[in-house]
Copies of this chain bind each other. A is one copy, B any other.
């Protein structure tokens, strides 16, 4: 059996700043627009929702944004996270490729989400905020913000997509153990929720609706702000600790990735692992292929339109230009809840448009098959979302085998699957299918995109 190869950095090597790709882009990303005026929003427009420190991070063009010491202190609990060379998987695949994976399942919530939950809780606390509202799908984000809120003494109210609320009581219990309040969405606590329920009392909910509820409540009170777990520039920014650490760890390995693979839902774990390498390339460094992997059943990057759209269903958010399936699009109920969002991070969409990254879509059976192969070789059971990255990485390794090329492949294993075992049960029982989205629903959702003059 091959040896275990783990690259660990000293605690002092936790990055001191987050990396902002905007500083290195050939063209800046399109402006965020106010949905009423269709004019670019200013920091003041976002103030009801976010503390000013996060708003400034959202719009900054500085290359480096300093990480506050209290945030680095909390990061120390699990960071720097390990980078592994997947030697046992390489052997199982009989590939000449060198496969590396960054493993974020070591965080207390079991995923990469605390990387941004912690600074978001910190900046809110610093701004005197008492309560943060947010949405969650599968619960990875909600439990991460609940964790961060407990540490900084900020109350967290999580609006959880109802179908997940019912199907994933364990994630909900994790949030409650951390002291957060978890509410099934759509709820009767908001006008947005009541409007949905009036039409359909048994509505299963969606991320778009849950965002509307959390945004609505935050906008109403001075001591309450909103937090989002992906999509926004400052969230992607916080996740760049991932790629920065991986770069230093690959330096220890005396290697550099030919290919980077990440899974994309809102885009933050993908950006976190890829953007520091992409930035290095844009500054004249070595070229790396960067591959975003998304679910075929919710294919914003591969099948969505690059257009201005709302981030939520009730249209309370600003308009951002992104790859979108339309804010009313409801994907089938496949098992990677964290990848079931109609849009894509504007910054990820922008670099896709610039031709700086590729995108692929996979069906879920192929992803679970890859996840099981990975678990048996490497000993770690990935989250269903992460299985998309595993699938992408294995396919690259098999291509290397076919072409006889010894490339270095890096992927982000963004979380463990301990809370998602029902998906594996269904997979082994033959109950999972490769669900397709409804083409006519997609057409209708795209037809409903807001009209924004070029």
Contacts and interface: CB of A to CB of B under 8 A. Distances in A.
A428 B4 contact: no
Given A106-B106, A379-B77, A173 B421 contact: yes
Most buried by B among A110, A152, A421, A425: A421
Contacts of A63: none
A169 B426 CA distance: 11
Contacts of A176: 424, 428
A395 interface: no
Interface in A158-195: 169-171, 173-174, 176-179
A28 interface: no
A182 B151 CA distance: 39
- The main secondary structure of chain A at its interface with chain B is helix
Contacts of A6: 11, 76-77
Chain A, interface size category, equals 35 or more
Contact of A381 (B74, B177, B380): B177
A88 interface: yes
Contacts of A4: 73-74, 76-77
A303 interface: no
Contact of A379 (B84, B108, B376, B422): B108
Contacts of A8: 8, 11
A286 interface: no
Given A1-B152, A4-B73, A8-B11, A380 B425 contact: no
A375 B178 CA distance: 6
A190 to B, nearest CB: 24
A418 B177 contact: no
A66 interface: no
A265 to B, nearest CB: 21
Given A4-B77, A8-B11, A174 B381 contact: yes
A129 interface: no
Interface string A395-424: 000000000000000000000011101101
A37 to B, nearest CB: 41
Contact of A151 (B152, B169, B177, B379): B379
Nearest to A372: B177
Contacts of A171: 421
Nearest to A107: B379
A332 interface: no
A100 interface: no
Interface in A101-141: 106, 108, 110
A424 B11 CA distance: 33
Contacts of A174: 381, 418, 421, 424
A197 B379 CA distance: 35
Contact of A421 (B70, B169, B375): B169
Contacts of A439: none
A79 to B, nearest CB: 10
A150 interface: yes
Nearest to A381: B177
Contacts of A1: 70, 73, 151-152
A147 interface: yes
B179 A376 contact: yes
B418 A110 contact: yes
Contacts of A169: 421-422, 425
16 contacts: A1-B152, A3-B73, A6-B11, A6-B77, A77-B84, A108-B380, A150-B377, A150-B379, A170-B421, A173-B421, A176-B424, A176-B428, A177-B375, A178-B379, A179-B376, A418-B419
Given A1-B70, A1-B73, A150-B379, 13 more contacts: A1-B152, A3-B73, A3-B76, A4-B73, A88-B151, A147-B379, A151-B379, A169-B421, A170-B421, A173-B428, A176-B424, A177-B376, A178-B381
